[in-house]
Amino acid sequence: MEKDCLFCKISHGQMGTDFLLENDNLVVFRDINPHAPVHLLIVPKRHIRSINDLTESDNQILAEMIMTARQMAQKEKINASGYKLLFNVEKGGGQVIFHLHLHLIGGWNK
């Protein structure tokens, strides 16, 4: 856990965030500034700064994040209508919190 990392604090239960899902490896919670009717964050508990900091040993956590996003899309009932999965990478790519996280975005009625 990184001392000053917001997502480390959240994922380790230090911020009072309501988790939609929690297991040994990750947590899922609603984005506080949603860009869609459904905007969830899938966050590993282990601190990984960004996609650029991944190693071969991180393949399993990435797969788990994506499969969890799929599961949460079903739970939120947006799997049939469609959704986006998004990683922001570094400042130029829109990353604001430097702890790896996957956005699940959807729920638009079009």
Please tell me whether residue 56 adopts helix, strand or coil conformation.
Answer: helix
Catalytic residue annotation = 101
24 burial via Cβ count (<10 Å: 0-12, 13-18, 19+): exposed
Q: What is the DSSP letter of 8?
A: H
